A and B are shown apart, each in its own frame.
Chain A
């Protein structure tokens, strides 16, 4: 069951790198975040109210708050809807496939605790981190780069699932708060980029170099 959900998360990586529309991209990233946030509830790991509350907060933040901030910025900035990659979609998909294979390989070679042996958590986490990183470096628009950052964070939180109860409530909520603050700051900067250059194309951000 867990592996099925994690496989779905990995499939969503392909959907993310293959999507050409920014709105779809943001929604898919949100869906991925929600699936990951809901995973501990589905697993039944979290019996106490603490875990349930935390999962619900994560669900709301990753599924609704952050996508809402990004989509609002997207609508208001009135930008062209295409993703505009530096490398083609098929090449991106090939790279995700390679990253996923790499994640599975690394996951096999690291010694896992008995309860995680044979499970896809490590592979899914690494593959998703890689997909986020790929989106971050191969796309031109600031808003797509910010989404890439979100996916990277999704990957890290998959790994966080293996540490059931190990990360204290305070730290985990701070983590989510940091994420929201980060996206918020990014959107503000995006607004300014758009005002200064009338586009979100980060290729314009290239006057500082040696």
Chain B
């Protein structure tokens, strides 16, 4: 309870403090401090969850907040990512001392607070409001560089994201109306809606499609991903990492909760079809645009579209694939931190993010170049990184469900993406560099490389060893999945 209060209050306080600090060089230190407090509170809250169950009920009744297993995993991904990005931020912002960073730091703290609220929210409306707020908080961060290109990216982000989030609201209202049309009182908590059992079919279906399009836009599923390459391409690495690992994960959580809800309302098959189509389309779309992509940051954006597609396909495979999906979510969030920060280092040292201007990064920036190369391997699901295990788990789930088409398209896309991604990464990292040496302050230092190394190490560690508490969390998420099939099998087990 105290930990949950701290999770929500610490970002607010940090935003206030950051707004009041006048010194541009000292202000960024708010971020690592906030990240540390937030991660500590997250770990305490997750550890004390079973004890605090009765307190949770009171919170649900009054504020619709509860830390369930699904939300806890996303919160963990977000919190670790934020601490990583926060530790990198002071060094980066010192190198960018010419730009005032008050808006960036305040918005990052606000984003963390609202994203946390979204992971705890058990109410469709509150979830929507938190995600909308987090979306808005990201806009000024995307515009950090204050040039015409970042301005264009910000406006596209606002317009595309705004329409998406508006459609999600309409979908939320449709779900509520499904209850009215079936003669129930309106109630927008997941529990209350699930308790109805069945609701008016057309409303649930249309509502689901709107929510899928809405939160899918925030996740960056094709074809609503238009904002993504522009935003990731024009924004600093730290913001790219927060968007690609944080914002998208939270949007995915929103979608996962909706799928669980629709599943329990008896429309699971419909939802799964839609999700599979959208997920595979995203993967295929990303594969096409990753071939001959010569902008390393846009490449990462398409990689993010791909991973969101993978998550959508995994979600469509039902509770059996849920542990793999959650592992994928954690691995993706942390691998993205390593990739975006390393890409940022390379971008700064070369003053370009395009091949062939960027070449031979391993010679000029041995550590950043190495992280970028290894990060590419992690992101494409090469063993022994965690994403290999999660993608394998999804293919296994698809195979055991007899979804051979899904499995084969999934694997084909992964293969094409590996080839396309590798061409760009190898050209950037290996090869000869005829460009002049970077100025000493733009070279690798522990300030710019320690954090991506840690991020990468986490993805590796997760691939080699799964901590028992995390496994419990995954199991609990599967057990709590509100689908009809799960309910049936549980009741069969409890029968004598």
Contact = CB atoms under 8 A, between A and B. Distances in A.
A20 interface: no
Given A113-B181, A113-B183, A210-B289, A189 B176 contact: no
Interface in B153-169: 153-156, 158-159, 162-163, 166, 169
Contacts of A145: 159
Interface residues of A, number: 46
Given A129-B170, A152-B166, A208 B233 contact: yes
B190 interface: no
Contacts of B206: 110
Interface of B: 123, 125-126, 128-129, 132-133, 136, 139-140, 143, 146-149, 151-156, 158-159, 162-163, 166, 169-170, 173-174, 176-177, 179-181, 183, 185-188, 200, 202-203, 206, 229-230, 233-234, 289
Contacts of B133: 174, 178, 181
Contacts of A185: 136, 139-140, 158
A205 B155 contact: yes
Contacts of A168: 123, 125, 188
Contacts of B147: 196
A18 B164 CA distance: 25
B346 to A, nearest CB: 20
Contacts of B163: 133, 136, 149, 152
Contacts of A125: 170
A206 B152 contact: yes
Q: Give chain B's interface secondary structure class.
A: helix
A113 B180 contact: yes
A156 B136 contact: no
Nearest to A175: B129
Contacts of B174: 159
A171 interface: yes
Contact of A189 (B129, B151, B169, B186): B151
A149 B162 contact: yes
Contacts of A162: 173, 177, 180
A197 B173 CA distance: 39
A186 interface: yes
Contacts of B128: 171
Interface in A123-180: 125, 129, 133, 136, 142, 145, 149, 152-153, 155-156, 159-160, 162-168, 170-171, 174-175, 178
Contacts of B234: 208
A167 B159 contact: no
A207 B129 contact: no
A196 B126 CA distance: 37
Given A185-B158, A189-B154, A207-B148, A159 B173 contact: yes
A163 B177 contact: yes
B185 A178 contact: no
What are the 9 A-B residue pairs with the smallest beta carbon separation, nearest first? A166-B186, A171-B125, A205-B152, A174-B129, A208-B230, A178-B132, A113-B180, A163-B176, A156-B170
B155 A171 contact: no
Interface in A35-55: none
A15 interface: no
A181 B289 contact: no
A178 B129 contact: yes
Contacts of B173: 156, 159-160, 162-163, 167
30 contacts: A110-B206, A111-B202, A113-B177, A113-B183, A142-B155, A145-B159, A149-B162, A152-B166, A159-B174, A164-B186, A165-B186, A166-B176, A167-B125, A171-B123, A171-B126, A175-B129, A178-B129, A178-B132, A181-B136, A182-B136, A185-B136, A185-B139, A185-B140, A189-B143, A193-B151, A205-B152, A207-B152, A208-B149, A208-B152, A208-B230
A76 interface: no
Nearest to B142: A189
Most buried by A among B126, B156, B158, B179: B158
Given A111-B181, A197-B148, 16 more contacts: A110-B181, A112-B181, A133-B163, A136-B159, A136-B163, A149-B163, A160-B173, A163-B186, A164-B186, A171-B128, A174-B126, A174-B129, A182-B162, A185-B158, A205-B156, A208-B233
A119 interface: no
A202 interface: yes
B61 to A, nearest CB: 12
A21 interface: no
Q: Among B128, B140, B153, B154, which residue has the most Cβ atoms of chain A within 10 A?
A: B154
B149 A170 contact: no
Contacts of B143: 189, 192
A111 B151 contact: no
A129 B185 CA distance: 26
A91 B288 CA distance: 35
A149 B187 CA distance: 27
A159 B166 contact: no
A188 to B, nearest CB: 8
A132 to B, nearest CB: 8
Most interface-central of A109, A145, A208 (chain B CB within 10 A): A208
